[in-house]
Structure 1
Amino acid sequence: MTTINHISESPSTLKQEHSLILAIETSCDETSVAVVRDGKQVLSNMVSSQIDIHRRFGGVVPEIASRKHVDSITLMIEQAVEEAGIKLEELDAIAVTQGPGLVGALIVGVMAAKSLSLALQIPIIGTHHIAGHIYANRLISELHYPCIALVVSGGHTEIVYMESEGSFRLIGRTRDDAVGEAYDKVARAIGLPYPGGPHVDRLAMEAKKAVELPRSWLAPDSYDFSFSGLKSAVLNALNQSQMKGEPLDHGELARGFQESVIDVLVEKSMRAVKEYGAKQLLLCGGVAANKGLRAALTARSEADGVELVIPPFQYCTDNAAMIGAAAHLKWKQGAFDSLDFNVHPSFSLEKWMGQELEDKQ
């Protein structure tokens, strides 16, 4: 039986490729449990969304999210195991999102994972949420290194350089709003419901013309992003149209906003691929479901001869299958956690594979 205490032996003596991992994801407003074999075969992936609950508030209410996770986590675990057609005793490890995310929501998932780990006497693996989004791509394709990952979600907009498996170097990040945040704020401004991203995307794809809006490129060699100015430009356009008494077509405004966002995301990602000699470009995160972004990246990648990997829609938004895929990296190294590890609401992706040092601080 594998010890559940932190592994102190040399990881090389513990390396093994095959795993059957039950993964738990509760970083925000989705309760998800999955069973993943060998980091790439999804046997089950159950997701319970809270969107309808939080929509009335125009965004996620942390306290409500935590309570809903408590209400559903046990049932989700039971359903994931049943759907996978396995018994709990067959599991090799439990993986759980350790961060980043809402602290109360993370605690619910971590406590459930610790309980299972203790009851089954199998290892537990604290897993980084963004690493999960990145390795969701491995559920559909082998990854070839070095590669570049464009991470776009409600709370993150980053370009990550990966020289080898499990190595993460942030070369660009947002300086203010994440892409998903900007979409939600623009949607609210033009009267669209939460979450705003899909609604803005739909309007943009349907519009025949676009309102011209600025692009924020920052310094010529920068891979960072800034979307607060673009959000302000949208608000200014709406205010000016109201003052002039001239109605502004919301579809054309949505298209102008989306084209501005996509131009910057695509251009900086492709520049990073060329500068770092990447073999692949990976699209990751909830905004990876955006049809406009997927189409633009696909067209540009084909034109530039770059291999692009985009996960299917069910693996773009928060889900536990991606956590199982990322946790397999640590399984192979025998890098397990002790039962006293903590959640990390602001978890460093670059330090995740060496996180043992952080847990004791």
Structure 2
Amino acid sequence: MSASLPKTAPVLALETSCDETAVAIYDGGLRAHALHSQVALHAEYGGVVPELASRDHVRRVAPLLRQVLDEAGLGTRDLAGVAYTAGPGLIGALMVGGATAAGIALAHGLPLIPVHHMEAHLLAPMLEDRPPAFPFVALLVSGGHTLLVDVRGVGDYRLLGESLDDAVGEAFDKTAKLLGLPYPGGPELARLAESGREGRFRLPRPMTDRPGLDFSFSGLKTAVLTSLPKAASDAERADLARAFEEAVVDTLCIKCLRALEATGYERLVVAGGVSANLRLRASLRERTRARGAEVFFPRQAFCTDNAAMVALVGWMRRAEGSPAVAALEVRARWPLSELCPVQRRPETMEQETIP
């Protein structure tokens, strides 16, 4: 088998890194995608229960596979590769998607393509009609990550800054819990903030008064906690929610503009679950426009975990000649910096291995 795929070759992808089961097919365009969210399953526990997540993935993955193949009008024999989220994520959940992908690849002699979850988020805006061109600065904001990355090409990433404590999505969820909001907390807090009054509370913009591109959100959460006694009514809780959201958005915007200045780039990509936040989108559009730069977001459906972005990355890497793997690999922790640029693959990776 050749080291790269034809540009129209369909790649099937599975995403099971946490609490969404998703399947998609990409062949230079998105052919089909489907997703099942476990939000209702975990709601009574106030967060994701790993064992329940893994069991639900087992129940959902086969029906979603059939649905996506039928929608695309393809059979497994028509595929040119099988991609799957190999990490980072919940190890049991990752194993469900990985084992399913490996079984399909083995049964049909297809390349097995591991995909880094954060790389998939980072490149998700490439699914849109107006994708960003390389190079660009990427802000990855989710429940587990807050990263600023210099992106020069597929796999060619340089970390510019990261959170030293809570990820921004984690800070949203913890603050929502302080305000007595139900799971999932982040979207609930954003909804409550819509009715809040501007200026009622003033919260800090952490680490914006010093140079650098790192973040810290644990102190902001503490500031909310100390302000709670002044937020006795529902209206005052909405005011506090708005103050928190504005502080987060302002902090992220300040650091993004600094990153654009440091790199000299004119394009910013914002991805991950928190990129769905409407206040963040509006503020970044306004501030980047004022600077003469452009900002790119994935559509709302592709901000949270999904298989479309995994299929895209699997297809891109195979189309450029990145090797398949010989056996199933999953990693609960996987630094983005360990990925290899597709343009400069080591000689040891030139020989392709097929399961």
TM-score by length of 1: 0.90
Deviation at 1:85, TM superposition (A): 1.8
Query: Segments of 4+ in structure 1 off by > 4 A?
Result: 245-248, 354-358
| 1:204/1:251 contact within 8 Å kept | yes
**1:153-192 mapped onto 2 (5 Å cutoff):** 153-192=142-181
| 1:330/1:353 contact within 8 Å kept | no
Which structure 2 residue ranges, 5 or more long, are not aligned? 350-355
Tell me the distance in 2 between the aligned counterparts of 1:183 and 1:167: 30
Tell me the distance in 1 between the aligned counterparts of 2:30 and 2:153: 23
SS in 2 for 1:34: strand
Find 2:88's aligned residue among 76, 100, 122: 100
Deviation at 1:183, TM superposition (A): 0.7
Give 2:179's aligned amino acid: I
- Pair 1:82-2:96 in alignment: no
Deviation at 1:67, TM superposition (A): 0.5
Query: Which residue number corresponds to residue 228 of structure 1?
Result: 218
SS in 2 for 1:353: coil
Query: Which residue number corresponds to residue 31 of structure 2?
Result: 43
Tell me the distance in 2 between the aligned counterparts of 1:103 and 1:124: 18
Q: Residue by residue, what CA displacement relative to the aligned partner does 1:177-210 show, whole Å, maximum 9, x if unpaired?
A: 1111111111111111111111111222221224
Find 2:21's aligned residue among 28, 31, 38: 31
Which structure 1 residue ranges, 5 or more long, are not aligned? 4-10
Between stretches 270-279 and 23-32, larger displacement belongs to: 270-279
Tell me the distance in 2 between the aligned counterparts of 1:279 and 1:37: 29
Deviation at 1:301, TM superposition (A): 1.4
Tell me the distance in 2 between the aligned counterparts of 1:249 and 1:219: 28
**Structure 1 residues 247 and 69, CA gap change in structure 2 (3 angstroms):** closer
**1:35-74 mapped onto 2 (5 Å cutoff):** 35-38=25-28, 41-74=29-62
Tell me the distance in 2 between the aligned counterparts of 1:279 and 1:162: 12
Deviation at 1:51, TM superposition (A): 0.1
| 1:97/1:109 contact within 8 Å kept | yes
Between stretches 123-132 and 247-256, larger displacement belongs to: 247-256
Query: Which residue number corresponds to residue 121 of structure 2?
Result: 133
CA RMSD of aligned residues (A): 2.1
Tell me the distance in 1 between the aligned counterparts of 2:69 and 2:225: 48
SS in 2 for 1:200: helix
TM-score by length of 2: 0.92
Tell me the distance in 2 between the aligned counterparts of 1:187 and 1:216: 19
**1:263-302 mapped onto 2 (5 Å cutoff):** 263-302=250-289
| 1:173/1:224 contact within 8 Å kept | yes
Deviation at 1:212, TM superposition (A): 0.6
- Pair 1:18-2:5 in alignment: no
SS in 2 for 1:249: helix
**Structure 1 residues 83 and 220, CA gap change in structure 2 (3 angstroms):** same
Query: Which residue number corresponds to residue 8 of structure 1?
Result: none
**1:205-220 mapped onto 2 (5 Å cutoff):** 205-210=194-199, 211-217=201-207, 220=210
**Structure 1 residues 317 and 253, CA gap change in structure 2 (3 angstroms):** same
**Structure 1 residues 350 and 15, CA gap change in structure 2 (3 angstroms):** farther
SS in 1 for 2:156: coil
Q: Residue by residue, what CA displacement relative to the aligned partner does 1:148-195 show, whole Å, maximum 9, x if unpaired?
A: 011001111100101233311111111111111111111111111111
Query: Which residue number corresponds to residue 193 of structure 1?
Result: 182
**1:109-120 mapped onto 2 (5 Å cutoff):** 109-120=97-108
Tell me the distance in 2 between the aligned counterparts of 1:72 and 1:56: 20
Query: Which residue number corresponds to residue 237 of structure 1?
Result: 227
Give 1:221's aligned amino acid: P
